[in-house]
Amino acid sequence: MSRVLTALQPSGVLHIGNYFGAIEPLLDLQEHNENHLFIVDYHAITVPQDPAALRKNILYATAVYLAAGIDPNKTILFQQSRVPQHTELGWILNCFTYMGELERMTQFKDKSRGKGESVSIGLFDYPVLMAADILLYDTQVVPVGEDQVQHVELARDIAKRFNNRFGEVFTIPEVRIRQSGARLMGLDDPTKKMSKSAESPRSYISLQDSPEEVEKKIKTAVTDSESTIVYDPEHRPAIANLLTIYSLVSKKTTEEIVMNYEGKGYGPFKTDLAAAINTWLQPIQEKTLMYLKDEDQLRRILDMGAQKAKEKAEKTMQRVRQTIGIIL
């Protein structure tokens, strides 16, 4: 039994990369572990958010998690901002993190590119709040997609630094990425990761896409210059990415899929892939809509989660405050 934790931003679109990178891995884990899944609304505001849209997206994300099979009786499901200990610990950890460390974060470099001096402190400081998210619950395992590995490593470094100074206050978390699907690539550009902040929605399959949109996006997805269907991520990244997606949604191995398309071209492969995505997506979309109909229930679930999380978080905070010499 391990303490497992992950979180996602409620910034509009959730795409299949988010689903397979971070939501699905929790489903098996929730049976035998202490699971925590939350919606990082305070991370989302590091870039401008429309308040009404943010409110909607928090409920939407909650509905998606439930639709995916997250059971709020097995997984503590909550909203980050409802547990103020996250920002409190974030502040304290700021005092144990170096500017140089944050300057090295590739996500910050990507997101701040071209913004010059007018990039927010929040965006810069974002990984420290994430470290607080993780360390607050004595987390042992953090399942994430590949793009978050560097942030989890920073959380480990901060925890070790703190422990070296004060003794064993924090548990050192381990990152866990899935073997296949930890980094789905853009459908329009297989050299870039599938991203919700991509310029074109053609980059990703959103969990809200209609069957027609899925078909269109797969039909126009970039392929390689060769026409055979083989799994070779190094030399044929575009088709390898599509095969990975096919494998994830159909639960077949890439070898099996490759065998089925021997001697066939991209046409039938793409038609079948779009159909497989839609078959997988339809029940998730139906359940999401069902959960969204009962907003009170969603709020009750988030309330229950926040209460449970707060109790745990406060225990850690008492230990931390005591340790650093804050009079209680």
193 touching ligand TYM, by CB under 6 A:
yes
Measured from the CB atom, the residue of 151 and 312 that comes closer to ligand TYM is 151
17 touching ligand TYM, by CB under 6 A:
yes
Nearest distance from C-beta of residue 237 to ligand TYM, angstroms: 13
Q: Which residue from 4, 6, 136, 207 is in contact with ligand TYM, where contact means CB under 6 A? A: 6
Q: How many residues bind ligand TYM (CB under 6 A)?
A: 25
Question: Do residues 115 and 130 make contact, with C-beta atoms less than 8 angstroms apart?
Answer: no
The answer to whether 9 is a known ligand-binding residue is yes
Nearest distance from C-beta of residue 100 to ligand TYM, angstroms: 20
Beta partners for residue 3, in sequence order: 34
Nearest distance from C-beta of residue 23 to ligand TYM, angstroms: 8
Which residues from 157-186 bind ligand TYM, rule CB under 6 A?
A: 182-184
43 touching ligand TYM, by CB under 6 A:
yes
The answer to whether 184 is a known ligand-binding residue is yes
Beta partners for residue 37, in sequence order: 6, 77
Measured from the CB atom, the residue of 203 and 278 that comes closer to ligand TYM is 203
Nearest distance from C-beta of residue 260 to ligand TYM, angstroms: 24
21 touching ligand TYM, by CB under 6 A:
yes
Catalytic residues: 111, 193, 196
34 touching ligand TYM, by CB under 6 A:
no
Q: Which residue from 4, 7, 301, 320 is in contact with ligand TYM, where contact means CB under 6 A? A: 7
Nearest distance from C-beta of residue 153 to ligand TYM, angstroms: 12
CA pseudo-torsion sign 198, 199, 204, 205: positive
Question: Do residues 266 and 230 make contact, with C-beta atoms less than 8 angstroms apart?
Answer: no
36 touching ligand TYM, by CB under 6 A:
no
Of the candidate spans 68-76, 127-135, 278-286, 289-297, the one that interacts with ligand TYM by CB under 6 A turns out to be: 127-135
46 touching ligand TYM, by CB under 6 A:
no
Question: Do residues 207 and 64 make contact, with C-beta atoms less than 8 angstroms apart?
Answer: yes
Of the candidate spans 96-104, 141-149, 213-221, 279-287, the one that interacts with ligand TYM by CB under 6 A turns out to be: 141-149
The answer to whether 267 is a known ligand-binding residue is no
Of the candidate spans 6-14, 46-54, 290-298, 308-316, the one that interacts with ligand TYM by CB under 6 A turns out to be: 6-14
Query: For every residue of the chain, which 3-state class applies, written as one string?
Result: CCEEEEEECCCCCCEHHHHHHHHHHHHHHCCCCEEEEEECHHHHCCCCCCHHHHHHHHHHHHHHHHHHCCCCCCEEEEEHHHCCHHHHHHHHHHCCCCHHHHHCCHHHHHHHCCCHHHCCHHHHHHHHHHHHHHHCCCCCEEECCHHHHHHHHHHHHHHHHHHHHHCCCCCCCEEECCCCCCCCECCCCCCCECCCCCCCHHHCCECCCCHHHHHHHHHCCCCCCCCCCCCCCCCCHHHHHHHHHHHHHHCCCHHHHHHHCCCCCHHHHHHHHHHHHHHHHHHHHHHHHHHHHCHHHHHHHHHHHHHHHHHHHHHHHHHHHHHHCCCC
The answer to whether 145 is a known ligand-binding residue is yes
Instruction: Return residues touching ligand TYM (CB under 6 A).
Output: 5-9, 17-18, 21-22, 40, 43, 130, 133-134, 142, 144-145, 147-148, 151, 182-184, 193-194
Q: Which residues are annotated as a binding site for L-tryptophan?
A: 133
